[in-house]
């Protein structure tokens, strides 16, 4: 389990907490193809942007991925949509090992390796039950290798390289008003969690 270290710094001379937060945000290390809020898959010029807020421990997120995953792959391949995945860590309380956090961090390592979609799918296919320990790091690493990640993947997972990034993604989701996972938006408008709703919303952007 990777423990988050919180450092409280007391500022004098009128320097406020807001500046501290800004400095922390600047220091976030994001994986390849990602910002401090999520991982983007697809062509930047795609007319539709599909934002998916998820937690790898969320059973409904797994069901949604199984329902829409193949269609999303086709949309991305055709240049119709890009997908921004926001792997938040909302459900750590349902795991004795902070599995939501650990799986999100591991997915960032997969983004570095260029296999985020494949790895996300593997995490959902092997999703542990709630109120359990979750997959051990050794299994997270094994799934990454099966997805095509290279030699650095294990070191990335074990070191907690993207602990700050996972915290940033989760914080950004909360600030965006996300209160449940999955939450899905197309070009900024929330849609229902069904394949027909996704297809209709993306089709409407194609001009």
Structure tokens at 60: 């409904």
Residue 13 confidence (pLDDT): 35
Average pLDDT value for residue range 96-110: 97
Count of domains for the chain: 1
Asked whether residue 10 is assigned to any structural domain, the reply reads: no
What residue has token string 């902070």?
Answer: 98
Which range marks the domain in which residue 59 is found? 17-203
Which of 97, 103, 96 has the alpha carbon at shortest distance from 57? Answer: 103
Asked whether residue 76 is assigned to any structural domain, the reply reads: yes
Asked whether residue 9 is assigned to any structural domain, the reply reads: no
Residue 80 confidence (pLDDT): 98
Asked whether residue 186 is assigned to any structural domain, the reply reads: yes
| 186-192 own/partner pairs: CB under 8 Å, 24+ apart | 186/48, 186/49, 186/50, 186/51, 186/81, 187/48, 187/49, 188/49, 188/51
Residue 81 confidence (pLDDT): 98
Asked whether residue 140 is assigned to any structural domain, the reply reads: yes
CATH code, 38: 3.40.30.10
Asked whether residue 6 is assigned to any structural domain, the reply reads: no
Average pLDDT value for residue range 133-157: 97
């Amino acid at each position: 389990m990777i423990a988050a270290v919180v450092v409280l710094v007391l500022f004098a001379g009128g320097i406020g907490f807001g500046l501290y937060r800004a400095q922390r945000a600047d220091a976030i290390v994001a994986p390849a193809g990602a910002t401090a809020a999520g991982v983007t898959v697809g062509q930047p010029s795609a007319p539709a942007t599909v934002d998916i807020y998820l937690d790898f421990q969320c059973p409904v997120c797994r069901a949604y991925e199984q329902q829409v995953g193949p269609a999303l792959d086709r949309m991305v391949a055709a240049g119709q949509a890009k997908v921004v995945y926001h792997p938040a860590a909302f459900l750590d309380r349902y795991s004795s090992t902070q599995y939501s956090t650990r799986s999100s961090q591991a997915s960032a390592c997969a983004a570095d390796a260029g296999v985020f979609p494949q790895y996300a799918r593997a995490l959902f296919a092997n999703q542990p039950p709630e109120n359990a320990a979750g997959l051990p790091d050794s299994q997270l690493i094994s799934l990454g290798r099966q997805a095509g990640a290279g030699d650095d993947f294990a070191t990335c997972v074990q070191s907690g390289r993207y602990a700050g990034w996972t915290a940033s993604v989760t914080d950004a989701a909360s600030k965006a008003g996300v209160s449940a996972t999955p939450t899905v938006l197309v070009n900024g408008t929330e849609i229902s969690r069904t394949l027909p709703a996704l297809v209709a919303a993306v089709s409407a952007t194609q001009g």
